[in-house]
Amino acid sequence: MKFVKMLFLALALVVANYACTEKNEEPQQEIPDTPDTPDTPDEPDTPDTPDEPDTPSVPVISLSKTTLEFKADGETQYISYEVENPAEGESLVAEESADWLAVSVNSDAVRLTAEKNTATEQRSAEVRFTYGEAEAVVVSVRQEAAEPVPAGMTFELNFSDIAHSNFTLQIIPSDANKTFYFATMEKSLYDTFESEEAIYEYEMQRMRELAEDSHLTFKELLESQIYKGEKWQAVNNLKPLTEYVSFAFGLTANAERTSGISANSVTTTVEPLVDMDFDISLTEDDLTIYITIKPANKKQPYRWNLYTAADIARLEQTYGCEGVEAVYQREVEAEVEALVGSGTSLEEYYSTFTNKGSIYNMEWGCDAETTYYIVATALNESCKPGKVTVFEHTTAAEAPLYSDNEIEVELSNPSATGMQVTGSATNMDPYLVMVLPTEICEAYEDEALVEYILTTYSAEVLEDNTYEGSFAGYESGLTPATEYTCVGFGFKNGVRTTEYVARSASLSTLAE
């Protein structure tokens, strides 16, 4: 029975499936069985992503004003400021673009101070503000022009007697009844002033300083420096070959400028050379000359020197010129150039490295049979040498053996390390006495012995052992038990002066 029920159920399912197939226009495609797919393991849980940190905001500069107008007389103004998103360690920085504008920054405001504008033209500048990474902010600044002084009276300025250090100035005002002021300065300085007002202020400040140095009031000094009518003035203490500007403007005793400035320029001339003569003379004595120099003007600075003929020949090659005069002029110029290059001013050289007045019996050691040139030249204030005076002198031949002094020397009273030395002479001509080991004296004839002594001992030792007339002394520092001989001969100025060379009898020091 159970089997019958199951059969009927299967038949019913077949009939139903057939009926459905008949109703569809196309039969459904049979889908092949899909192989079993292995179970996909569960994905692990993804951890939560942490929140991104907040990006810091860039600082922003905020100013209360970005344009400023200043009056011509000068003034101070302030700008307040804030910085949004300030950064640690940063501060507001101002960069001004004009030297007439001073800018300072404090904790909450900027202070801007404009100097007085003396020019008759408006001027402008910019101030750039920065703060760390913030975008820069620029403030534009303008200042009014100064009010021009009415032209007022004018001046004619004329020059005459123009020289290297002075000229004469003539000033003719257009109104002889009004007071005026005038001055002179180097054109290089005059050209640095940007306006007539700046020149006026410079001169008034100079007058204030001069008044203080002179123990006068400014008004007292100024009253002595203003004039009326035509004025002639000698202008002194100028530089050679320099351009100067003389100028004048109306001025009251109260220092009020009443006119524009009239000016004219002039260039001083080249300073002339000083062609001064010198009287040069000398005397000679035993390879020493004594020089006397007398300048024509005892107050005029000058230089002098002494050269051998060999020196002059060498300097001619150095400077590419000929003649003693040309050589010495070049020598002085080179000396001045070297000293000025090392920091000495012309004024210092002129006052320190020159002579004034006469020189008497200047002692100068010389060589025999040598030509010497004594030269002298006056210098102008620019330290340029003028005409050179040259005095030529050739020294005598080396002195011959001219002394007829008869010398005797003797040793006596020996000890282990010394003995007495005596000498006698027939006149006061100087002579040299030396105590030498006998073995040395016996090894040389007179000429060779003299040469040995003069080349072995220093000039100081030879001088210490030179005597005049008779003498008695003691020679110490000798070697015990050693024979010594005393030697004597005429000696002056480093040369032997007698034919005869005296030798004492030998004498031995005692044994210790």
Q: How many CB atoms lie within 10 A of CB 447?
A: 10
- Residue 64 burial class via C-beta count within 10 angstroms: exposed 0-12, middle 13-18, buried 19 and up: exposed
> What digits encode the pLDDT tens for the residues 134-165?
999 999 999 998 877 777 899 999 999 999 99
Assess contact for 504 and 468: CB atoms under 8 A: no
Q: Are 392 and 373 in contact (CB under 8 A)?
A: yes
Beta-carbon contacts of residue 408 (< 8 Å; ≥ 6 apart): 423, 424, 425, 488, 502
- Please report the pLDDT score of residue 108 as a whole number: 86
8 Å CB contact between 373 and 310: no
Higher per-residue confidence, 438 vs 6: 438
Q: How confident is the model at residue 295 (pLDDT cuts 50, 70, 90)?
A: very high
Express each pLDDT in 390-434 by its tens digit.
999 999 887 667 889 999 999 999 999 999 999 999 999 999 999
Which residues, 6+ apart, have CB-to-CB distance to 448 below 8 Å?
A: none
> CA 198 to CA 119: how far, in whole Å?
8
pTM recorded for the entire structure: 0.49
Across the chain, how many H-helices and E-strands are there? 10, 29
Residues 192-206: pLDDT tens digits?
A: 998 899 999 999 999
Structure token digits, residue 229 = 């009518």
The residues near 90 (Cβ < 8 Å, ≥ 6 apart) are 59, 131, 132
What is residue 253's DSSP assignment?
T
| Helices within 322-469 (DSSP H only) | 324-341, 346-352, 438-443, 446-456, 459-464
Q: Tens digits of per-residue pLDDT, 474-494?
A: 999 999 999 999 999 999 888
Return the DSSP state at 120.
Answer: S
Average pLDDT over residues 257-264: 95
Confidence of residue 5 (pLDDT cuts 50, 70, 90): very low
